[in-house]
């Protein structure tokens, strides 16, 4: 168990931005469901000892089938999610038995093995880590009427990705506290920060996108075709 690392892959959402009848995580990329591409990254990684997949109740059977078909033997459980992402992650965390945990979006299939390594090393060094990229665009803070209030310094702004890496016992305690207080955060690190866990940023890649629109799917097809040329 010492220094063991597990992953919770969250794929319980039913996003509508893709504009398809099928949930985005089950759309095909190079003839394989997106969620399978994501799971394979963690299946192949030598750091990862077990994986829990969190999905919709109605999708559990087909996900379990894919686990068999694609020989994803690190997946120890496929569990039903909750009404919010936070509830889904909480369920996944409670199914893991490792010392460390990486929480990762099921629709980010392009995370690199080197980024997983870097996240783990940074978490061990500082307490917790999140993969992120510097914001490229100028950001404006705007009020409810559309009036610009301020322009934050772009150098201090990072777009947060996944995986996010924590000591499992500490993240579970943060989730317990959030549940008790009725607090709903925007990501796992916001719950950790609230509990006083120091979180450090690890610079990732702009290719590690979350596939949420049909344009993203076009980018994914291009990236997957060219992946072998890196």
230 inside domain: no
The DSSP output letter for 179 is: H
Query: Does 154 map to a domain?
Result: yes
Distance CA 207, CA 228 (A): 14
pTM: 0.90
Nearest to 127 by CA among 196, 198, 47: 198
3: left (phi over 0), alpha (psi -120 to 50) or beta: left
Residue range 92-141, pLDDT digits in tens? 999 999 999 999 999 999 999 999 999 999 999 999 999 999 999 999 99
Q: For residue 153, what are the domain limits?
A: 5-225
Q: Please say whether the dihedral angle defined by the alpha carbons of residues 83, 85, 89 and 92, taken in this order, is positive or negative.
A: positive
Residue 23, pLDDT score: 65
User: Looking at the domain assignment, is residue 33 inside a domain?
Assistant: yes
C-beta of residue 196 within 8 angstroms of C-beta of residue 170: no
- pLDDT for residue 17: 44
Kindly state whether residue 99 falls inside one of the protein's structural domains: yes
Tokens linked to 117? 């390594």
Q: How confident is the model at residue 230 (pLDDT cuts 50, 70, 90)?
A: very low
Please report whether residue 134 resides in a domain: yes
141-170 pLDDT, tens digit per residue, is: 999 999 999 999 888 999 999 999 999 999
> Taking 50 as the threshold, does the pLDDT of residue 16 lie above it?
no
The tally of domains found in the chain comes to 1
What's the CATH number where 53 sits? Answer: 3.90.550.10
């Amino acid at each position: 168990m010492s220094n063991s690392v597990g992953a919770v892959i969250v794929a319980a959402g039913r996003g509508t931005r893709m504009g398809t009848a099928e949930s985005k995580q089950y759309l095909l990329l190079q003839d394989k469901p997106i969620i399978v591409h994501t799971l394979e990254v963690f299946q192949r990684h030598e750091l990862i000892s077990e994986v829990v997949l969190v999905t919709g109740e109605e999708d559990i059977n087909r996900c379990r089938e894919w686990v068999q078909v694609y020989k994803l033997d690190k997946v120890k459980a496929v569990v039903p999610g909750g009404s919010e992402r936070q509830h889904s992650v909480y369920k996944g965390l409670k199914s893991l038995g490792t010392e460390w945990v990486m929480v990762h979006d099921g629709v980010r299939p392009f995370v690199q093995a080197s980024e997983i390594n870097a996240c783990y090393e940074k978490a061990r060094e500082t307490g917790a880590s999140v993969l992120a990229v510097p914001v490229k665009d100028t950001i404006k803070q705007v009020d409810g009427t559309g009036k610009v209030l301020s322009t934050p310094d772009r150098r201090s702004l990072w777009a947060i990705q996944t995986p996010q890496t924590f000591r499992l016992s500490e993240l579970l305690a943060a989730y317990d506290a959030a549940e008790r207080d009725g607090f709903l955060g925007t990501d796992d690190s916001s719950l950790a920060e609230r509990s006083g866990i120091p979180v450090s940023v690890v610079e990732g890649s702009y290719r590690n996108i979350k596939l949420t629109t049909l344009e993203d799917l076009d980018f994914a097809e291009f990236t997957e075709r060219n992946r072998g040329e890196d």
